[in-house]
Structure 1
Amino acid sequence: GRSIDVDAEAMPGMAADAAPGRARAARKSRAGGLPAATPAAEPVSAEPVTMYGTSETYTDYGVNPFTMVADDALSTFSIDVDTASFTIARKKIEAGVLPPPEAVRVEEFVNYLDYGYAAPTDGEAFAVHMDAMPDPFRSGHHILRVGVQAREISRDARPPLHLTFLVDVSGSMSSSDKLGLARKSLHMLVDSLREDDTVALATYAGRTAKILDPTPASRKWAIHQAIADLRAGGSTAMASGLDLAYEMAWDSFEPGHENRVIVLSDGDANVGNTSWDDMLSQIKGYADRGVTMSTIGFGMGNYQDTLMEQLSNHGDGNNYYIDDADQARRVFVEELGGTLVTVARDTRIQVEFNPDAVLAYRLIGYENRDIADKDFRNDKVDAGEVGSGHNVTALYDVILADGYARDLATVRLRYEQPGADVDHGGSGGIERAWTFRDRDLAERPDFASRDLRMAYTAATFAEILRHSPEVEELSLDALIAFGDGSRRPGEADDTELIELMRQARTLGAGTRSGVVSVR
């Protein structure tokens, strides 16, 4: 992989409870004109990148180039509901240092904010919402938004949860923003469960330990006590811990219920059978049998972002990073259904652009979620899982044709129902389609919805942080002003996003001094 130089002086210790923040969006910028058919850039190796001065690893997935519609009218990708990248960036910035560009995944900034999409009707699993506006800073560019809203299952109507917590109690987890915050998070989660849910608990350090057999949530006191007794010390045998956790989860497996392993860790694995491919293969095998995985990350200095994201991807689950108690409450209390109750499996989107309306397009983010166009209807190909009430947003930067046609694009969404064809044997897919019409396009940015404008703001901020060539000409001051004028009344997340951008500006974001050099 490539190594990144980070000024050691700019790496203060992480505060145990950094202030909360929230955000999400999607979009980009650059000097105007038709994007000289951006060359299909050299493929990025997607090898984990280690930051100098730390043992943190992140992966550079590159930046999507523009594609000429005449060459390829189809854009196909897996849905992504993760938000870890945003909270990692927030913790870094609030600690006084910019995140490494490789840590920034634009779609996770986009999907951190809630856009208030209307829920699906008539028993449908999803509703799709579309709108567009001219780029506020680049003549000739437009931003198209595709928003997907999943149906919500009420707390009483959801299936029982059978959760196996796998907690990293190695010495690297000893700080209050690691194991201390993990304990707080688990206490919150347990208090949010129904009496017919169950919890099991295992730990790993130099050795693994079964702490609690599957226990009904009606016995909350016993679960809380087991969590409170967790202490850190020793090395890190993650692979052995996964073996134990999945063995426990499989022994208590209940068909038709939500069976999930939840890993709480900094991702550091330095002892035992920690072969990357072995762990991913094991997790994928259990996911195909109906035991999914969520990864919950903590701490800085040795955080293994690449490992935590890929474990959850192969486990048909989700990946969160907890930087403070407010984020824990958001994930495990306010959005518990979306975190742990799956309403659709292997969910993917395909956008087909009309060559009479669109000359070129670029999907903003989702670089590591690309699916071959020919595999859109191949249900054996793994894609993203969506939880109860989750919403997912994707933004496209497009160049419209002169006198463009009325229909800009067709948006197709395909998914499988939870529990159906768990072994990915194929042909269980459900597909829906919507048309993106010119009436969905605002004449001016200030005529567009505040939701779209905030999505643009968050995505473009992420583009600046990851040094995307598409925003080289964009002023962060101008983006802050645009975002500040686009805030939605009563949305604290919007205010926090703008404040985070201001903090990033003081650290050099958007300037050459804010660039982390790559060697």
Structure 2
Amino acid sequence: MTDELEALRKALKAAPPAADPARREAALAAAMAAFDAHRAQAGQETAGAARPMSDRPQRAGFLIGVRAMLERVSFRPALAATASVAALAVGFGIVMTRPPELRPGPAPEAVTARDEAPLPPAPDLTDRRAATPEARSDAPPATAAPEPPAAATDEAPAWADAAPPAPPAPPPAKMAADAGAERGRSAGTAVPDALAAAPAGTVAGLAEADAPARTQDATAMEAAPAPAAMPAVVAAPGDVTAPPQPDTEAFPEAEANPVRIVAEEPVSTFSIDVDTASYAVVRSSLMAGVLPPPDAVRIEEMVNYFPYAYPAPEAGEAPFRPTVSVVPTPWNEGTRLVHIGIQGRMPAVADRPPLNLVFLIDTSGSMEDPNKLPLLIQSFRLMLGELRPEDQVAIVTYAGSAGLVLEPTPAADRARIEAALGSLHAGGSTAGQAGLEQAYAVAAGMAAEGEVTRVILATDGDFNVGPSDPEALKDFIAREREGGIYLSVLGFGRGNLDEATMQALAQNGNGTAAYIDTLSEAQKVMVDQLTGALFPIADDVKIQMEFNPAVIAEYRLIGFETRALAREDFNNDRVDAGEIGAGVTMTAIYEVTPLGSPAVLSDSLRYRAAEPAAQDAAAARAGELGFLKLRYKEPGEAASRLIELPVAADPQPATEDVRFAAAIAGFGQLLTGGKYLGDWGWDEAIALANGARGADPYGYRAEAVQLMRLAESLSRR
């Protein structure tokens, strides 16, 4: 035991080896030269600049963190200070064993956060010797520092709180000074003066003196004022940082449909729309804790997100059946809602034609987020289970340049298709036009008579159309559409979502646009509603509603702003319109104001009167609120067909489907300002939707009620 103590005493008496100034200077010079060379080489790299994104993930991982930690550790200062650590531990242990009443020095005073020492300015990096231990060895003794903070008690010295947190115990002063100097040189931060000015011989003095001398030295240390609180050391960013990531989302811009006077504009014409992207974007925003941008809210897409049980067409009838209901308006007693529901025919699976699919996948650098390319791959894997053995799949990617990842492959070879999907990774810039051209070329080679051929574009929406005019790109897609190859668009992720372009491409490609933010949404779009999304039963479907001026004074179409058509476009078969897929439902809602209602917003004209013949014709049909006409084309045909039916003026009881659709229409209007809702608010919308959920096997309607409640809370901010 005596020998061990003697060895410990000798170790404590031994002073740490002094650093060689010349070798330290040479090492610093070599490090700076290597650093400058690295910077010069980095500046000459030809890699493209980082792409702006709003939700770029931080790379993390246990092994990455361990490697980064080891790269920053300098073992030489730690070895040099090993003896100092043991000596300081013994010295401070002697100090702490003294009774509190025998400790001299001023009593601690309460200090608020604003009394703490401010962060010192960063040192001039051109004089790096100022932060070295050699430069500090000639520094004058430390001057009196501010009083210790209130957190320092007799049981816990002030310096314990002043030191930066390093669990499980604060480091000794000498090691903290050395480590702080190393961090200051690498991160550009200042080293606290209180640590830089500590006398170099303090540790040796504690080891050489006998017990009385150690007691005297310890007393002198305690008598000195406590050092100032050590500021937090914040590492400066590295040389290579991600650029600012602005929100570059774009949505279709269109003014809400105004109230129109029947005597002046009795006819309303628009193309059907069965897209659902807007509802998913609204949900994504609300789940992120923010209200969606008004331009992101398209009420018709919110209403059509939900399936409805409308009457289906009978055998031998048109491929879809319209149903019209006139019901009271929930938010205005003086108006009525004209609810138009369309149900498409669902063919038997055995009658379904073979399917040729080309997955056009964006693999640019912005797709690396978990809710982009990884979710996209999972979504397409779900879809594979719904394909039949005779269906074919090809995969084209675009990132910098387009490439064929998978040649046309039978769906029965699922392992090969999944392997191709698993090989995808994000990287490079976006070259969407080249990808579209190659995808259509591959699809043309797969197409055959009587088969359905479709390109499915999957992207985060940051779609770079390249050097060509976007209008020329739309014309290209329209030409391919005439050849029987349709285009659907799937959006993933947020931050750079260009939904305006996505919707325009889908409209010109006779396809649909959907946004996928979760795997549950992928299940809905890629599995539950796959047949309706991929197999059209009617093309270029247009709706025209003529209102009877003898019954209706005003009307407004709720939604469909981006689908408006001119009156003469209805009979023009060369004008493109939306399609209806197998088993798909579509809903459109008008709010109409009966003649003489106190809810009429416009005054009648003083000098204008309807022609007598027109007045007589309108009065003769006083039992009709209006007349509905629909035009459509059978897939592959060039001539359209016409469906007509009168709309009775008498209101009918509203079914659950009609009431729920009205609630969602109110939901969308509340998100965009609720100009025509009066005092009708969130409570009424929630109650209406909750009471009309009906059969909800997938929980879509229950989720909508929860989103309404969330939107109500967010609107109170």
The alignment's TM-score, normalised by the length of structure 1, stands at 0.84
Aligned match of 1:494: 701
2:54/2:246 contact within 8 Å kept: no
Aligned match of 1:408: 625
Q: What is the identity, as a one-letter code, of the residue corresponding to 1:192?
A: E
Aligned match of 2:263: 70
Pick from 154, 159, 174: which aligns with 2:348?
154
Q: What is the identity, as a one-letter code, of the residue corresponding to 2:255?
A: G
Aligned match of 1:285: 479
1:153/1:337 contact within 8 Å kept: no
Structure 2 CA distance, aligned partners of 1:435 and 1:277? Answer: 39
Shift in CA distance, 225/153, structure 1 to aligned 2, threshold 3 Å: same
* Residue 122 (structure 1) shift: 2.9
Q: What is the identity, as a one-letter code, of the residue corresponding to 1:203?
A: T
Structure 2 CA distance, aligned partners of 1:353 and 1:373? Answer: 13
Pick from 381, 389, 392: which aligns with 2:586?
392
* Residue 467 (structure 1) shift: 2.3
Q: Does 1:505 align with 2:712?
A: yes
Matches within 5 A, 1:348-497: 348-402=542-596, 405-421=622-638, 428-439=639-650, 441-442=651-652, 447-471=653-677, 473-490=679-696, 492-497=699-704
* Residue 13 (structure 1) shift: 5.4
Q: What is the DSSP-based 3-state SS (H/G/I as helix, E as strand, rest coil) of the residue aligned with 1:256?
A: coil
* Residue 487 (structure 1) shift: 2.4
Structure 1 CA distance, aligned partners of 2:316 and 2:464? Answer: 48
Aligned match of 1:128: 322
- Any gaps of 5 or more consecutive residues in structure 1? 1-10, 16-51, 422-427, 514-519
Would you tell me which structure has more helix in proportion to its own residues? 2
Aligned match of 2:133: none
Q: What is the DSSP-based 3-state SS (H/G/I as helix, E as strand, rest coil) of the residue aligned with 1:225?
A: helix
1:238/1:274 contact within 8 Å kept: no
* Residue 468 (structure 1) shift: 4.6
Matches within 5 A, 1:88-487: 88-124=281-317, 125-270=319-464, 272-273=466-467, 275-402=469-596, 405-421=622-638, 428-439=639-650, 441-442=651-652, 447-471=653-677, 473-487=679-693
Q: What is the identity, as a one-letter code, of the residue corresponding to 1:410?
A: F
- Any gaps of 5 or more consecutive residues in structure 2? 1-52, 58-244, 598-618
2:670/2:681 contact within 8 Å kept: no
* Residue 477 (structure 1) shift: 2.0
Q: What is the identity, as a one-letter code, of the residue corresponding to 1:120?
A: P
Shift in CA distance, 365/271, structure 1 to aligned 2, threshold 3 Å: closer
Would you tell me which structure has more strand in proportion to its own residues? 1
Comparing 495-504 with 459-468, which one deviates more in the overlay?
459-468
2:533/2:581 contact within 8 Å kept: yes
Instruction: Give aligned-pair identity as a percent.
Output: 39
Q: Does 1:58 align with 2:251?
A: yes
Structure 2 CA distance, aligned partners of 1:311 and 1:281? Answer: 10
Q: What is the DSSP-based 3-state SS (H/G/I as helix, E as strand, rest coil) of the residue aligned with 1:142?
A: strand
1:12/1:96 contact within 8 Å kept: no
* Residue 230 (structure 1) shift: 0.9
Shift in CA distance, 495/312, structure 1 to aligned 2, threshold 3 Å: same
1:256/1:419 contact within 8 Å kept: no
Comparing 175-184 with 476-485, which one deviates more in the overlay?
476-485
Cα deviation, 1:277-326, whole Å, max 9, x if unaligned, reads 22212111101111100000000011111011111011111101111111
* Residue 167 (structure 1) shift: 0.2
The alignment's TM-score, normalised by the length of structure 2, stands at 0.61
Cα deviation, 1:343-375, whole Å, max 9, x if unaligned, reads 011000111112222111111000111111112
Cα deviation, 1:248-293, whole Å, max 9, x if unaligned, reads 1112221321111100001213473353222212111101111100
Shift in CA distance, 489/202, structure 1 to aligned 2, threshold 3 Å: closer
Q: What is the identity, as a one-letter code, of the residue corresponding to 1:123?
A: G
Q: What is the identity, as a one-letter code, of the residue corresponding to 1:498?
A: V
Structure 2 CA distance, aligned partners of 1:366 and 1:319? Answer: 15
Structure 2 CA distance, aligned partners of 1:392 and 1:269? Answer: 28
Q: What is the identity, as a one-letter code, of the residue corresponding to 2:664?
A: A
Q: What is the DSSP-based 3-state SS (H/G/I as helix, E as strand, rest coil) of the residue aligned with 1:176?
A: coil
Q: What is the DSSP-based 3-state SS (H/G/I as helix, E as strand, rest coil) of the residue aligned with 1:140?
A: strand
Structure 2 CA distance, aligned partners of 1:369 and 1:218? Answer: 39
1:235/1:271 contact within 8 Å kept: no
1:206/1:271 contact within 8 Å kept: no
Shift in CA distance, 490/370, structure 1 to aligned 2, threshold 3 Å: closer
- Pairs aligned (count): 453
Cα deviation, 1:368-396, whole Å, max 9, x if unaligned, reads 11111112111011111111011100000
Shift in CA distance, 262/12, structure 1 to aligned 2, threshold 3 Å: closer
Q: What is the DSSP-based 3-state SS (H/G/I as helix, E as strand, rest coil) of the residue aligned with 1:144?
A: strand
CA RMSD of aligned residues (A): 1.9
